[in-house]
Structure 1
Amino acid sequence: MILPGDVESVTSQYLQLIDKALPDHVVGLYLTGSVPLGDFRPGRSDIDGVVVLAEPLKDVEAVREVHARLPAKPSFDVTYLTAAELASPPDPRQPVAFSLDGIFKQDPSGGPVGPVLWSEMARQSLAVRRTPGLVVHDDHQALVDFTRANLTSYWQPTYDQLEAAVADRPDDAVMPDWALPWVVLGVPRLHALLATGNIVSKTAAGEHALVAFPDWTGLISRCLSHRAGEPITFTTTDAKTAVSFGRKVIADALAL
């Protein structure tokens, strides 16, 4: 697979910098998310992935400096893990180093560690630097259980918050252009996983939703057009429609 230009540039720069800062320490770089799924959108998408370490990270400040030298956009968002950690079930209690929105961070209790990242790595990651003999633990039932929990712990409150935020706004008030595509294309990804067993991109999730939820074709299609780069204006009316759509998707997904 030929990498998009921005992705090729950032990953090459990262590997040059990290190899100089920590020689022989990074034994693998795998991309997850939109790039291997063929849904990377220049100017909109982040570069997601996993850095495989020869041993647990010790020189944290050297890695922080490497991330600080990378371009701000697209964000280079990776999780630092050893091959042994990837071969075992994810432990959300373990300390982890990662970058989010391009900023290097440390979390004493898991951060991005979870079944989704492990399954992405096992099923559809793209190797920029391949780790010899790498085996990644992939527990589909754990992925399903995590997805169901995420529907109720994250997405239901998100739609509640959206409903409250627009309750008193004029129907024709303009929404931030990123907000509606995020909520409208985000939750069908979880529905698609539970319905098909596959982790899909946001674009594929929207296409899945067009078939599964035809009553919302207009809003879904406009969100897909926005993701494809077209200038689309969303209003409070669209947000209220998105709330009813999201709640329907969640209820249907939990019934699968």
Structure 2
Amino acid sequence: MTVPAEVAAITSQYLELIDKTRPGLVRGFYLTGSIPLGDYSPGRSDIDGVVVVSEPVTDPEVVRAVHAKLPERPYFDVTYLTASALAAEPDRSTPVVYTIDGQFQDPAAAGSVTPVLWSELARQSIAVRAVDGLVVHDDHEALVDHTRDNLTSYWVPMLDRLDRAMTDRPVDQPLDGRIVSWVVLGISRLHALLATGNIISKTAAGEHARARFPAYSALCTQAITHRAGHGIPLTSTDGTQTVAFGRAVITSAQHL
């Protein structure tokens, strides 16, 4: 698969900088997320990836100066992991340096250390710098369990909050389309994984949901359209429908 030009330029810049400032630290670099799934949108998507390091990186200061020299956008969102860590099941008890929206997070939170990242790396990643003989622990049962838990522990409360927010708004009040796109496509990706066993792109998830939940076909189309960068006017009514859609998808997922 061809790597988008801006992604190739930034990853090349990163590797040049890290090799100069921290020689021998980075053994490998793999792109995950939207890029290998063919769903990268220049100017809108992030650069997601896994940096395979020769020794654990638990303090952001080790690499902060390098990240500071990269462009602010697209966000450079990577996780620093050793090959031995990737060969075992995800260990959330060990601090890990990672970024979200280009910002370093608390290493102790280990937010990106999940079966999803391991499976993405094992199944559908692009090696910018490959590690010979790299073994990644891809546990499908753990991936399914994590997905089910995420639906109930993260998305159900999120839908509850969105539902309360829509209750207090006039039905015709404009609504940021990012909310609809994020919720519709995010929940749909999890349903698709449980239904098919595959991790798919957000756009493909919208298409999956459009076919599986025809009553919400127009809403799914709106989410896909917004993700593609085409602004469309949405209102609180669409937000309310998004809540109903999310609840329907989660109920369906419980029977998969």
Tell me the TM-score normalized by structure 1: 0.97
Query: 2:147 corresponds to which residue?
Result: 147
Asked whether 1:208 is paired with 2:220, we answer no
Letter in 2 for 1:138: D
Which structure 1 segments of 5+ residues have no match?
Answer: none
Query: 1:83 corresponds to which residue?
Result: 83
TM-align CA RMSD: 1.2
Query: 1:15 corresponds to which residue?
Result: 15
Query: 1:97 corresponds to which residue?
Result: 97
Which stretches of structure 1, 4 residues or longer, exceed 3 Å deviation after superposition?
A: none
CA–CA distance in structure 2, aligned partners of residues 76 and 213 of structure 1: 34
Letter in 2 for 1:227: R
Aligned-partner SS, 1:97: coil
CA–CA distance in structure 2, aligned partners of residues 162 and 59 of structure 1: 35
Counterpart mapping for 1:29-48 below 5 A = 29-48=29-48
Counterpart mapping for 1:1-256 below 5 A = 1-57=1-57, 60-256=60-256
1:60 Cα deviation (Å)?
4.2
Report if the CA contact (8 A) 1:180-1:242 is conserved: yes
| 1:51-110 Cα deviation digits (max 9, x unpaired) | 000112277424011111111100000000000000000011111101111123342242
| 1:160-183 Cα deviation digits (max 9, x unpaired) | 010011111111111112111000
Aligned-partner SS, 2:79: strand
Q: Which sits farther off after the overlay, 243-252 or 175-184?
A: 175-184
| 1:168-224 Cα deviation digits (max 9, x unpaired) | 111111111211100011101000000000001100100100110000011111111
Report if the CA contact (8 A) 1:184-1:246 is conserved: yes
Report if the CA contact (8 A) 1:26-1:53 is conserved: yes
Which structure 2 segments of 5+ residues have no match?
Answer: none
| 1:229-252 Cα deviation digits (max 9, x unpaired) | 212111100000000000000000
CA–CA distance in structure 1, aligned partners of residues 223 and 50 of structure 2: 29
CA–CA distance in structure 2, aligned partners of residues 57 and 144 of structure 1: 28
1:111 Cα deviation (Å)?
2.2
